[in-house]
Amino acid sequence: MAHLLERYRATFAAAAILAAVLSVLFAHAFAGGGDSEHCNVLVHDADGQVHVLDLSEDATLEVTTALGSNTIVIEGGTVRVSDADCPQGDCTRQSAISRPGEQIICLPHRLWIEIVPADGSSAGEMDADAVSYPDGADTVAG
């Protein structure tokens, strides 16, 4: 057995080094790495206001318009709607979001939450009329 270990020592060392490198790469990929992209949370409300929050800082925002009230919570790098007074409360049942491009929408309150890179490089665009007039009432008869 000792002869076998001596003969393949370089192979075992190379395998151990490869395993260590792969472990670091996988940990970096799944944990987001130390230099992960800094993101903001944009909360667009029915009054046309855009609230900008840092996704890396825990916070709670109460958004109240004539259409109703939503409580937005940022915790541990995720954002979710914790409470809303809309009839169905669908936005409160949506999963928390944490990556650029993900969104939460509350149609009854015309509230739209999105995550964007802090530099604004890929901020999404939403058709405000689609949210404001989901039934097509924005069309003018001509």
Quick: pLDDT tens for 48-72. 999 999 999 999 999 999 999 999 9
CA 85 – CA 89 distance, rounded (Å): 7
Q: Is the pLDDT of residue 127 over 70?
A: no
Tally the domains of the chain. 2
Quick: pLDDT tens for 103-118. 999 999 999 999 999 8
User: Residues 96, 126: one domain?
Assistant: yes
User: Residues 8, 65: one domain?
Assistant: no
Residue 139 lies in a domain: no
Residue 75 lies in a domain: yes
Q: Is the pLDDT of residue 21 over 90?
A: no
Residue 17 lies in a domain: yes
User: Residues 44, 25: one domain?
Assistant: no
User: Residues 51, 105: one domain?
Assistant: yes
Q: Which residues are bridge partners to 62 per DSSP?
A: 71
Q: Which two tokens stand for residue 91?
A: 């936005």
- What is the extent of the structural domain holding 74? 39-132
CA 105 – CA 44 distance, rounded (Å): 10
Residue 142 lies in a domain: no
pTM of the complete model: 0.61
103 alpha carbon, distance to own chain's centre: 7
User: Residues 94, 50: one domain?
Assistant: yes
User: Residues 126, 70: one domain?
Assistant: yes
